[in-house]
Amino acid sequence: MEKVRIGIVGTGYVGNLHGQIYSQDARAEISALYDIVPEKAERTAKGIGGKVCSSR
């Protein structure tokens, strides 16, 4: 079975919470993260994986 690829927009409290939950689910893969403050997305990516994306 293929994994569901997850993209998270906004890596504040709720985005991080969802990311932690999805990263523990064998059926899901964190693919992309975006936040208006790129450093926040980079911090989250270090913990749960995924590629940090920009709006450009």
- Tens digits of per-residue pLDDT, 24-46? 999 999 999 999 999 999 999 99
Output the pLDDT for position 1: 81
Superfamily of domain 4-52: NAD(P)-binding Rossmann-like Domain (3.40.50.720)
In tens, the pLDDT along 8-24 reads 999 999 999 999 999 99
From 36, 35, 55, 56, select the one nearest 45 (Cα to Cα).
35
Q: Where are the domains of the chain?
A: 4-52
Residue 7 structure tokens: 């993209």
Output the pLDDT for position 44: 96
**What is d(CA 10, CA 4) in angstroms, rounded to the nearest whole number?**
19
Residue 5: how many CB atoms within 10 A of its CB?
11
**What is d(CA 17, CA 36) in angstroms, rounded to the nearest whole number?**
18
Q: Residue 38: CB partners within 8 Å, gap ≥ 6?
A: 52, 54
